[in-house]
Amino acid sequence: MTREIEWEVTGMSGTSALPRSNGELVFESPWEGRAFGVAVALTNAGHYQWREFNSVFIEHIAWAEQSGDSSTYYQRWLAALEELALKKGFVSVQELEQRAQQLAAENDHH
Amino acid sequence: MSETPDNQHTHSASDPAPRAKALDSLLVEKGLLASDAVDVLVEAYETDIGPMNGSKVVARAWTDSEYKQRLLKNGTDAIEELGYGGLEGSKIVVLENTDTVHNMVVCTLCSCYPWPVLGLPPNWYKSLEYRAHAVSQPRAVLKEFGLELDELVEIRVWDSTADVRYLVLPQRPAGTNDLSEEQLVALATRDSMVGVAKADSPALAS
């Protein structure tokens, strides 16, 4: 069942094609892997179709490129993921902001 | 046409690491994701992902003999016909398994792999053990994978390079005459296309 999803995810092409090195996925830092994993896991768990995520993601890429935004592939990925999670009502803006700030503050203390 | 993505919230906290973690942790708390789902998934995608496009190439070759001839003659072009490319200069050579010849693929130097058709290389493909023994004792290695070939079958081992990647065309399993191309796709497993297994028989595929 998840094999179809694997095909969709790893078969993304054009601007949304996954960054790779000799075929292997490249995550520059752990949060990129986490953002990747959350997006795919939500599809595996049946919370949205992969094409829904992909179309929001492609929109973000196009939008960023048009506006000369220098964000990276996974920054755009995360922005798309957040947008979709909010749109679907999985989380609210307030709790997401609050949690992110809390975690950022915890990091600063270490 | 389409609306501008809502970026309001993404500018307020700019460091992506806590944002990714915040989303992950909230989704777990709300029961939308299992607590280890993300770790397990990333691990799977990083280390061992299914064969994807290669299965479709094999199923096409099993059902369309003209396509098969083109595939064996020029793998790169025939694979591109189906829309799969992106090997950046290296070519794909397709090796046909028959009753008398069994092909298997290794990369003794590193882990060159035909990833546009097979996805990510599995861990064992990258292991020193496989790379060291596939050439010297292929029969023993295949046995470890559960594949015992008749002594009369010739085993050919192909060493991948940056310029040439190999894809094994496994034999079409018996008892599949009634299956459609789509159904056959599921039988062309990754291992069969690396040449460490035969294609699944229909009874095994669910």
Tell me the pairing of strands A24-25 and A20-21: antiparallel
- A7 part of contact set with chain B, CB < 8 Å: yes
Considering only alpha carbons, which residue of chain B is nearest residue A105?
B18
How confident is the model at residue A39, as a pLDDT?
A: 97
**Best of A2, A4, A5, A6 to disrupt the B interface by mutation (most B CBs within 10 Å)?**
A6
Reply yes or no on whether the pLDDT at B6 is more than 50.
no
- Taking the Cβ of residue B189 and every Cβ of chain A, the question of whether any pair is shorter than 8 Å is answered with no
Q: For residue B163, what is the DSSP state?
A: S
Name the phi and psi angles at B119, rounded to 5. 75, -145
Q: Does B54 touch chain A (CB under 8 A)?
A: no
| Residue pair B170/B55 in contact by the 8 Å Cβ criterion | no
Closest Cβ–Cβ partner in A10, A74, A100 for B52: A10
Q: Which of B3, B8, B10 to mutate to test the interface with A (most CBs of A within 10 A)?
A: B10
Asked if the model's pLDDT at residue A109 lies above 50, the reply is: yes
Q: Give the CB-side neighbour count of residue B132, counting CA atoms within 13 A.
A: 3
Q: H or E stretch including B83?
A: none
Confidence grade of residue B206 (pLDDT, cut at 50, 70, 90): very low
Q: What is the pLDDT of residue B87?
A: 63
- Residue B115 confidence class, pLDDT cut points 50, 70, 90: confident
Sort strands B91-96 and A24-25 into parallel, antiparallel or unpaired.
unpaired
Residue B161 main-chain phi, psi, to 5 deg: -135, 180
Q: Taking every pair of C-alpha atoms in chain A, what is the biggest distance, in angstroms?
A: 43
B178 against B206, higher pLDDT: B178
Q: Which of residues 1-40 of B touch A (CB under 8 A)?
A: 2, 4-7, 9-10, 12-13, 15-27, 30, 32-34, 37-39
What's the average model confidence in pLDDT over B135-164?
94
Mean pLDDT, range B13-24, rounded to an integer: 88
pLDDT over 50 (residue B4)? no
For residue B26, list chain A residues with Cβ-Cβ distance below 8 A: 90-91, 95-96, 99
pLDDT score of A18? 86
pLDDT tens digits along B43-60:
777 655 555 688 889 999
Tell me the average pLDDT across B171-189: 92
Q: B5 contacts in A (CB within 8 Å)? A: 56, 59-60, 63, 79-80, 83
* Residue at token pair 């990091």: A107
Closest by CA to B192, choosing from B204, B184, B200, B183, is B200
What percent of chain A stands above pLDDT 70?
A: 91
* CB-CB under 8 Å, A82 with B38: no
Q: Is A25 helix (H, G, I), strand (E, B) or coil?
A: strand
Question: What are the residue numbers of the active site of B?
Answer: 107, 110-112
Q: In chain B, which ranges are continuous DSSP H helix?
A: 8-12, 16-29, 37-47, 53-63, 65-73, 75-81, 115-118, 123-126, 128-136, 138-144, 181-185, 190-194
**Contact (CB<8Å) A30/B17:** yes
Q: How far apart are CA B70 and CA A6, in angstroms?
A: 28
For the segment B19-25, the average pLDDT, to the nearest whole number, is 95
The Cβ-side half-sphere exposure at B65, using a 13 Å CA radius, reads 0
Q: Is A85 on the interface with B (CB under 8 A)?
A: yes
Measure CB to CB from residue A60 to each of B5, B37, B42 and give the nearest one. Answer: B5
Chain A residues whose beta carbon lies within 8 Å of the beta carbon of residue B115: 20, 22-24
Question: Tens digit of pLDDT for each residue in A6-45?
Answer: 778 877 878 888 887 656 678 888 899 999 999 999 999 9
B109 and chain A in contact, CB less than 8 A: no
Q: Where are the alpha helices (DSSP H) in A11-92?
A: 30-44, 50-66, 73-87
Higher pLDDT, A26 or B188: B188
Find, in chain B, the residue whose alpha carbon is nearest to that of A87. Answer: B6
Q: Is A89 helix (H, G, I), strand (E, B) or coil?
A: coil
Place of tokens 């998840």: A2
Compute the distance between CA of residue B206 and CA of residue B201 in angstroms, rounded to an integer.
Answer: 10
A67–chain B nearest CA distance, Å? 11
Task: Give yes or no for residue B29 having a pLDDT over 70.
Answer: yes
- Gyration radius from chain B CA atoms: 21
User: Chain B contact for A21, CB < 8 A?
Assistant: no
What pLDDT does residue B11 have? 41
